[in-house]
């Protein structure tokens, strides 16, 4: 490892022509940059940011073409830089700044990077950076220059809100073990119903239908899948959500969901037997190859299996075009192409459409399937018996773009006998004592309302990781000021629920009276995360808390 310096002009690169080294230090350390920050110093107009090693992602600029808006960089970086990526130019005579990539193509042994912005200077010098180099430049470009507030200054916004003492008597400002255990929980992906496990329904011995003994349809959609990295801590979920398929009552093997691929069809050429997918990475990463068998599902007239004869990806248009050997009957542009990487398995599952695709025809076999199917958007977090769950912080994550097409509700429930005792049976009321009712709620009818409560924003995360285990679209994330009840006591029957749409909540409404919605957001991902501490509920603690709320 070799210490590496990145120098920025305070008057040119920083938007307010000033630097707060403590704030910049904090921004870098909390970003996704993986190389350890060493130190930051300033001298005159220079701000030097030192890292323990070189950041990932840069190459020297060897040529500049202002007319075609092209930077030529050394080496083949067509796999590193793609259309719509953001890049930065550093250490140049007159071209320092952020640029948006239009295309990246190989030019001999070098790479021509076409950008959408004008290139101010003809001098070919400096470096073009992406990934961590770009992220550092981006953090500089949004730096406020204001120092972090003093947590003891009553005029500033505190960095942390701390009690003087915790329950074991230790001051929270010293380094001691905290009481309880950390717990992080995230909601369903509000854009993806195959993750909505909480209110799902289990189906057993379904007999799917088929017309060719290879493509089987269960008749249900949005089968639950918690084995492809779309749900936080999916391995800790209680419940049997896995799809199980049988042939003549014998369980068959299923392709790992992370080896099953799905892409939307964006164009159809019936004459040339071609389907176009709206993402270049499928072809660029060789996720679909000549000789593969693809299945079209959800189309108007083209649902069947096809054999690939050619694959072409267009980085400029960000598309992959697949030519097949079979006739393409309909020119209607809809549906999805689905395929898998086989490793001796019998079939794969298309969870969104509720379909099972076999590699070999199952003529004469009786096929059945067990699975869970999505219900409403309802999601719940609650303490285990004998514990109290303290929600300390929350944040929201959204893909870009996302269609915030419904209202988000957060509802806190508790037993009626504690929160509305006059309605409990033991006091002559109509409800069993342990009926849960709404005791508090928050409503977010637009994303602006979440942003209004936000306490900042995390660095913009570009699409990374490839088409199956990665993000197809960038992410925004921000901590928001979760304002409802923060301590959930198991003895009081308390739980927090999150849902999309449905009827408006009311204090005192029971679980049975509410109507969670079932229409997801549009886009790739939308979740909320809750950072909690779970600890033993001390005797009398819950009732003491309850009386304090009444005061």
Question: Domain locations in the chain?
Answer: 4-141, 257-341, 379-550
Q: Is the separation of the CB atoms in 532 and 182 below 8 Å?
A: yes
Q: For residue 254, what is the DSSP state?
A: B
| pLDDT for residue 285 | 60
φ, ψ for residue 401, nearest 5 deg: -90, 160
The span from the CA of 201 to the CA of 223, in Å, is: 10
* Strand 487-489 relative to strand 475-479, pairing: unpaired
- What pLDDT is stored for residue 174 in this prediction? 47
Rounded to whole angstroms, the Cα distance separating 360 from 363 reads 9
Contact 336, 342 (CB under 8 A): no
Could you give the 3-state DSSP secondary structure of residue 496?
A: strand
* Residue-level pLDDT at 202: 94
Residue 420, both tokens: 């509305």
How far is the C-alpha of 328 from the C-alpha of 149, rounded, in Å? 64
Helix runs in 96-151, H state only: 131-141
Q: Which residues of the chain have pLDDT under 50?
A: 152-163, 173-177
Sequence-distant (6+) residues with CB within 8 A of 368 are 205, 206, 207, 208, 245, 246, 249
Cis status of the peptide bond prior to 401, with omega within 30 of 0: yes
Residue 152: what pLDDT? 47
Q: Residue ranges of the alpha helices (H) in 212-306?
A: 281-284
Q: Are 335 and 297 in contact (CB under 8 A)?
A: yes
**What CATH superfamily is the domain 257-341?**
Efflux pump adaptor protein, beta barrel domain (2.40.30.170)
**pTM, full prediction:** 0.65
pLDDT given at position 286: 59
The pLDDT assigned to 422 comes to: 93
Check residue 363 and give its pLDDT. Answer: 96
What six digits make up the tokens of 56?
């990932």
């Amino acid at each position: 490892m070799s210490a590496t310096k990145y120098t920025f002009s305070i008057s040119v690169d920083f938007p307010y022509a000033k630097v707060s080294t403590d704030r910049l230090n904090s921004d870098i350390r909390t970003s996704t940059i993986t190389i350890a920050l060493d130190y930051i110093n300033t001298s005159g107009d220079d701000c030097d940011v030192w890292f323990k090693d070189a950041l990932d992602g840069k190459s020297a600029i060897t040529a500049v073409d202002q007319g075609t808006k092209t930077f030529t960089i050394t080496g083949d970086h067509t796999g590193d830089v793609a259309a719509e990526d953001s890049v930065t130019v550093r250490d140049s005579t007159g071209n320092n700044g952020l640029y948006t990539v239009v295309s990246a193509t190989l030019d001999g042994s070098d790479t021509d990077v076409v950008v959408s912005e004008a290139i101010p200077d003809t001098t070919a010098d400096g470096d073009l950076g992406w990934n961590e180099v770009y992220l550092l430049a981006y953090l500089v470009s949004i730096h406020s220059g204001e120092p972090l507030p003093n947590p003891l200054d009553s005029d500033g916004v505190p960095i942390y809100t701390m009690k003087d003492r915790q329950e074991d008597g230790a001051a929270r400002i010293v380094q001691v073990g905290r009481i309880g255990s950390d717990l992080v929980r995230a909601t369903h992906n509000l854009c993806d119903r195959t993750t909505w496990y909480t209110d799902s329904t289990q189906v057993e011995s379904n007999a799917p239908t088929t017309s060719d003994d290879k493509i089987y349809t269960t008749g249900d959609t949005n089968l639950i899948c918690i084995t492809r990295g779309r749900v936080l801590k999916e391995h800790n979920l209680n419940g049997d959500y896995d799809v199980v398929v049988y042939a003549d009552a014998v369980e068959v093997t299923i392709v790992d969901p992370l080896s099953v691929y799905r892409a939307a069809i964006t164009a159809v050429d019936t004459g040339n037997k071609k389907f176009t997918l709206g993402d270049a990475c499928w072809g660029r990463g060789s996720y679909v190859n000549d000789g593969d068998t693809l299945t079209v599902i959800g189309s108007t007239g083209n649902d069947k299996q096809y054999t690939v004869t050619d694959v072409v990806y267009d980085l400029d248009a960000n598309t992959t075009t697949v030519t097949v050997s079979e006739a393409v009957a309909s020119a209607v542009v809809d549906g999805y192409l689905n395929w898998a990487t086989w490793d001796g398995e019998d079939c794969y599952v298309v969870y969104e459409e509720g379909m099972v695709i076999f590699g070999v025809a199952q003529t004469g076999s009786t096929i059945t399937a067990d699975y869970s199917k999505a219900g409403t958007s309802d999601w719940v977090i609650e303490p285990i018996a004998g514990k109290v769950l303290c929600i300390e912080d929350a944040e929201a994550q959204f893909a870009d773009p996302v269609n915030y097409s419904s209202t988000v509700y957060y509802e806190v429930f508790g037993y009626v006998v504690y929160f509305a005792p006059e309605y409990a049976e033991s006091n002559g009321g109509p409800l069993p004592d342990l009926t849960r009712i709404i005791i508090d709620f928050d409503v977010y009818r637009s994303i602006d309302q979440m942003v209004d409560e936000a306490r900042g924003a995390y660095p913009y995360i570009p699409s990374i990781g490839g088409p199956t285990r990665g993000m197809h679209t960038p992410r925004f994330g921000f901590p928001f000021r979760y304002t409802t009840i923060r301590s959930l006591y198991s003895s009081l029957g308390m739980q927090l629920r999150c849902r999309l749409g449905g009827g408006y909540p009311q204090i005192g409404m029971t679980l049975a009276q509410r109507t969670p919605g079932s229409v997801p957001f549009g886009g790739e991902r939308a979740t909320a995360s809750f950072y909690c501490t779970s600890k033993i509920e001390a005797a009398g603690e819950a009732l003491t808390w309850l009386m304090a709320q009444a005061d």
